Amino acid sequence: MHELSIAISLIESAEEEAAKHHAAAVRAVHLRLGPLAGVEKQALLFSYDLAAAGTALEGSQLIIEDVPVTVFCAVCGERRPVRSLQSFCCAECDTPATQVVQGRELEVIALEIE
C-alpha cells in the first residue's frame, strides 16, 4: 500500500498551494483521481487523516472526484469511454484503445480556504 506516501505528497502539495493563497486555514481539498493513477480511493481517504495530523490541514476534508478513463477512438474519431480497465476498448465500437486522453489524473484542483 503506497497511499500513505501519496497522502503525504498530497498534504505537502496542498500546504504549498494554501500558502500561496495566504490561507489562514484549509477546510477541504478537492482532488481529481483517475483509475490509471494506481491509487486506491478508500485507502487514500483513510490515509489522508493520518497524513494531515499535525499539519495546517489537520481536520480538513478530502473530496475526491472520480475521473473516468477516456480514450480517443480512431475509428469513431471521437473521445470515448472504455468498456473497463480489463477490456480496454472503445465502449461504442469495441476498437482496442491505445490513445488515453484522461484517466491518469492525481491532481489537486481546488482548495476551500479561510
Residue 46 is a binding residue for other proteins (CB under 8 A) = no
Q: Does 87 bind other proteins (CB under 8 A)?
A: yes
Looking at this protein, which amino acid is placed at residue 6?
I
Least CB distance to other proteins at residue 61 (A): 12
**Binds other proteins by CB under 8 A, chosen from 6, 52, 57, 67:** 6
Tell me, letter by letter, the H, E, C secondary structure of 9-44: HHHHHHHHHHHHCCCCCEEEEEEEECHHHCCCHHHH
Interaction of residue 66 with other proteins, rule CB under 8 A? no
Q: Which of 75, 85, 93, 101 binds other proteins (CB under 8 A)?
A: 85
Name the grid cell of 30: 478537492
Distance between CA 113 and CA 105 in Å, rounded? 23
Closer residue to other proteins (CB): 57 or 97: 97
Q: How far is CA 77 from its chain centroid?
A: 27
- Binding footprint of other proteins on the chain (CB under 8 A): 1-2, 5-6, 9-10, 12-13, 17, 21, 23-24, 27, 31, 35-39, 85-89, 96-98, 106-114
